[in-house]
Amino acid sequence: MNESDFDQIAEDTMVAIEEAIEDCGVDIDYDNAGGILTLEFADGSQIIVNKQAPLTQIWVAARSGGYHFDYDAAEECWRLQGSGEELFSCLGRYCSEQAGEAVVLG
């Protein structure tokens, strides 16, 4: 994947995450600045989602750890290195842990 393709796919993913947060019905604030999406929860904890262009990955930093996602072009989604879990499924779980209630994204 070239840099231009990565930038477009990653940016579309960031927008989709924002929309999913808006639609989930849980009080999660977010801010997107400079390619870094910060999700903030009522208890003050955060999840950081950012694009790593040199590695063509999306990284997620949550209370439970740091996670790296690679793009699966065949499935048109981001997959967690190692387990192959889909980004939105994982992010929903991380958000649920930090929000203290079920969060379903996407």
pLDDT tens per residue across span 31-61: 999 889 999 999 999 999 999 999 999 999 9
Q: What does pTM read for this prediction?
A: 0.93
Q: What's the pLDDT tens digit per position in 63-81? A: 999 999 999 999 999 999 9
| Structural domains of the chain, with CATH | 3-99 (3.30.920.10)
The pLDDT of residue 106 is above 80: no
> How many other CB atoms sit within 10 Å of the CB of residue 18?
16
- pLDDT above 70: percentage of residues in the chain: 100
Q: Is 23 left (phi over 0), alpha (psi -120 to 50) or beta?
A: alpha
First and final CA of the chain: distance in angstroms? 24
- Alpha-carbon gap, residue 79 to 69, rounded angstroms: 5
Distance CA 94, CA 33 (A): 21
